[in-house]
Amino acid sequence: MSPQRSLTPEQIEDFRRDGFLVVENFFRDDERQAFGAAVDTGVAGRTSSDTRPMAEKSLYEQSFIQCINLWEDDPEIRAFTFNPDLGKMAADLLGADAVRIWHDQALYKEAGGRETDAHQDRPFWPIKPADQVTAWIPFDGSQRGAGAMAYLPGSHRVGLERFVDISHFFREPYDIVHDPAVADLQPIWVEAEPGSVVFHHSLTVHQADANSTQKTRRVYCIIYFADGCVRRAGIPHIVPDRQGIAVDAPIRGKVSPIVWPREENDLPPAPSDRPPNLGFA
């Protein structure tokens, strides 16, 4: 089967209705393996000094090892992250003429890792309007019992935006799946073959189950936003903070380059001020 590298109008409609979309067979096997191996190396490079057993980690860290902006570390990861076909899909889902990267992240849920608490992404992000989409890329596919994701279909359209403290740092996470705005929606658990990409909107309520297998669930995410989005007030965040972007100013700069459209084989340079790995963005 040849890879699917562009979206049909029906898929775009499904995404706009449901707030998530599974695209099967995006990556060829050789690409998926090379991409996964590059991210494995990137994650190992950032985390090799952390030898703590699971029980000594915070509840947030027990959900996954998180490494942000690996595209800045490694040209091979950068080439995959700035894949133009994936960027074009994100633009089509958002109805945007151009998309930028908000950030990427490896989310490696270790063997025995706990669930990822249900949440929306946008409350973490000082960006407006709500034109962001994540490409969630499970290198080995995704299975129930091994960190699969579930989405509340249509939850991005109900006017709900509520912060959930999935870090457990400050308070117990708000039980968002029982919020009256979405309590009637049944979660849809997604199992996907290796090579798939699963998109979700920044307001879609989603969660991932625990990893009760003996193998790390290897996921890499690319978060895109429509070019022209501006900074909103009230939330510190590494992406606009690093670039000195003021409230209401457009989010543009070396940390937020255009992903699509770009000239063929034109990759953005890595910013020169890469900060140490931040676990939470």
Ligand X SMILES: O=C(O)CCC(=O)C(=O)O
Which parts of this chain interact with ligand X (CB under 6 A)? 64, 107, 109, 116, 121, 134, 136, 147, 206, 208, 219, 221
Is the Cβ of residue 114 or residue 231 nearer to ligand X in the bound state? 114
Is the Cβ of residue 172 or residue 266 nearer to ligand X in the bound state? 172
Which residues, in sequence order, are CB contacts of 201 under 8 Å at separation 6+?
15, 19, 20, 93, 130, 132, 133, 156
Is the Cβ of residue 27 or residue 220 nearer to ligand X in the bound state? 220
Q: Collapsing DSSP states into helix, strand and coil, what is residue 226? A: strand
Is the Cβ of residue 87 or residue 147 nearer to ligand X in the bound state? 147
Is the Cβ of residue 174 or residue 254 nearer to ligand X in the bound state? 174
CB of 273 to ligand X, least distance (A): 25
For the stretch 199-233, what's the b/e string if a residue is b when 16 or more beta carbons lie within 10 angstroms of its beta carbon?
A: bbbbbbbbbbbbbeeeebbbbbbbbbbbbebbbee
Enter the DSSP assignment of 152: -
Is the Cβ of residue 147 or residue 268 nearer to ligand X in the bound state? 147
Is the Cβ of residue 38 or residue 208 nearer to ligand X in the bound state? 208
Phi/psi at 108 (5° precision): -100, 110
CB of 249 to ligand X, least distance (A): 25
Q: Would you state the structure tokens that stand for residue 143, as one six-digit string?
A: 């299975």
In whole angstroms, give the CA distance from residue 57 to residue 53. 7
**Burial of 173 (C-beta count, 10 Å sphere; 0-12/13-18/19+):** middle
118: Cα within 13 Å, side-chain hemisphere: 21
CB of 280 to ligand X, least distance (A): 12
Query: In this structure, are residues 270 and 72 in contact, taking their beta carbons and an 8 Å threshold?
Result: yes
CB of 237 to ligand X, least distance (A): 15
CB of 111 to ligand X, least distance (A): 14
CB of 136 to ligand X, least distance (A): 5
CB of 37 to ligand X, least distance (A): 19
Pairing of strands 99-109, 127-128: unpaired
Enter the DSSP assignment of 177: G
Q: Which residues pair with 103 in a beta bridge?
A: 223
In whole angstroms, give the CA distance from residue 163 to residue 4. 35
Is the Cβ of residue 134 or residue 196 nearer to ligand X in the bound state? 134
In whole angstroms, give the CA distance from residue 223 to residue 159. 21
CB of 166 to ligand X, least distance (A): 8
